[in-house]
Structure 1
């Protein structure tokens, strides 16, 4: 046999050997979808109350916050759509299904958070340049009511998955509303006691900075997944070193590619070189078992080549 001839064993274990708990994943997604729906309804309902309060009091601050909540209600609706589409099964043209739709929704929400923060700062600058008379009493009442609604929505979302970027994006939208309500209460107190109208836009900028930071973080994490970035803790050097140290029937590891479908679904493809005389099927199984044990990788495609004789 030619020294260049290699024996190839393409190990694609995409069946029952995955070890994926699809039932648990579906239940988690359904729970997250319900939580986002509840938060969206609460946010949209109070938005109309803020519009009414703003018109009655003539408060631009309340009308601006109502626009803020309208944006958040839309973002929560987008998050819900992401979950709903992610539940659709795989088909002939989408072998992984629509799982990444919630990552795309998270990325979009991250960008919206950044834009929202920029808008708040822009509005604050205008209010500082052209102070607006605000009825402190009405502002205080509506802000306290808004804080109550936002706390309920926050608690509903906070009970969801901590690893779900789509959920975290929705959570930060509500957290921004909650912080905005706290800032509005503080501004109302200052206005009622001192008459200093600049308190409202200044406190709004502080909230905008927190919202901006959250948006950048969520967009960066979801963008990394969308760009097929290597998940944390899955460097090719670490995987190569671990396999060569713990699987004695292989002499080398190459072509390591690790990426993530979602925050929790990590995948890997790689090629290993089996030592002379080693059974390629046993090598493949040993490599897959080690990847599962050391790196929690249940979805691995392993190609085995034999050393030339």
Structure 2
């Protein structure tokens, strides 16, 4: 029985991921500055105008500023090198940050739903003019912040979690503008909480997708695009001298870093090193797996 771990591919993958992470880190930082800078104006505007849509959007921006700060901190922590206690490094902190941001966003949406229902039962006056001005400024800020984040690495779950918060702000500002126009033209104030409900549903979907994927990664779920049965057959078909593949375990540190372990049974005449090299090539080319641990076996599997 032979065991081998291919170190060169592992190091190459780290360089690419850390380079993309540095870009995402900068994007999150600039989005944080924009969001935090405008948040105070929107809170004041919502209180003065009495608009729930503005206050809901301000609440989004408050939590989004914290969410963006959390995402930025997670990127900073991920820079730390691996050590004896964290042999894979600190990249998984980004997934924890994404889960936290998504979960907080779901809680905020629930609060908005409750407030909207109360406003529908007991309407309150809304100053459409102030609401329109603040919401328009907020839309510009959110568009810029979202454009900054949207231009980053879309595979990065931490960046997507931050972008989900900013998208909620963007939709909230757009809804507040529409509500202000309706109120100014017709005086019909129920449009404000109704639009808040609509925005909440849209934001809830984005938040749920981030939470679902982050939970899947934290539970060591199989990465998207990797089906163990298909992977086994692909290796047997593409690698000469490979008799069987079993004990396949695939998971992710982050969406950009899939990992895999497997046992490969070879014939007596097969070259273990050549077989190992070929398996590594297939995993990297077909599945994007640059870090794998492969146990080469002759005869029966020792674990069985």
Q: How far has the Cα of 1:248 moved from its partner?
A: 2.4
Shift of 1:60: 5.0
1:20 is paired with a residue whose SS is helix
User: Which residue is equivalent to 2:214?
Assistant: 222
Give the deviation of 1:235 after TM superposition: 1.4
Query: How much has 1:18 moved relative to structure 2?
Result: 2.9
- Give the distance between the partners of 1:59 and 1:125, measured in 2 at CA: 14
What is the aligned partner in structure 1 of residue 107 from structure 2? 115
* Residue 37 in structure 1 maps to residue 48 in structure 2: no
Corresponding residue of 2:5: 12
Larger radius of gyration: 1
The verdict on how the C-alpha distance between 1:233 and 1:197 changes in structure 2, with shifts beyond 3 A counting, is same
* Among 212, 229, 237, the residue aligned to 1:245: 237
Q: Which residue of 1 aligns with 2:278?
A: 286
Could you tell which deviates more after superposition, 292-301 or 172-181? 292-301
Q: TM-score, normalised by structure 1?
A: 0.92
Q: Distance in 2 between matches of 1:68 and 1:98?
A: 28
Q: Give the TM-score normalised by structure 2.
A: 0.94
Aligned counterpart in structure 2 of residue 199 of structure 1, from 178, 191, 196: 191
CA offsets 1:94-115 (integer angstroms, 9 cap, x no match): 0011011111111111112211
Q: How does 1:150-169 map to 2 (within 5 A)?
A: 150-169=142-161
Deviation at 1:66, TM superposition (A): 2.1
Structure 2 unaligned runs (5+)?
none
1:143 aligns with 2:135: yes
1:11 Cα deviation from its structure 2 partner = 0.9
* Cα distance in 1 for residues equivalent to 2:190 and 2:21: 44
- For 2:220, what is the secondary structure of its paired residue? coil
Offset, 1:58: 4.7
Which whole-Å deviations, capped at 9, do the CAs of 1:178-211 have from their partners, x for residues lacking one? 1111111111111111111100000111100011
Alpha-carbon deviation of 1:17? 3.7
Deviation at 1:161, TM superposition (A): 0.9
Stretches of 4+ moved more than 4 A in 1? 58-61
CA apart distance, 1:30: 1.5
Partner of 2:57: 65
Structure 1 residue ranges without an equivalent (≥5) = 1-7
Structure 1 residues 63 and 114: alpha-carbon distance in aligned structure 2, compared to 1, 3 A threshold: closer
Question: How do 1:57-96 and structure 2 match up within 5 A?
Answer: 57-59=49-51, 61-96=53-88
By how many angstroms is 1:240 displaced?
1.1
CA contact (8 A) 1:9 1:281 kept: no
CA contact (8 A) 1:33 1:80 kept: yes
Does 2:90 correspond to 1:103? no
2-structure distance, mates of 1:134, 1:17? 60
1:171-210 matches, cutoff 5 A: 171-210=163-202
For the aligned residue pairs, the C-alpha RMSD in angstroms reads 1.6
Distance 2:212 2:53 in 1: 31
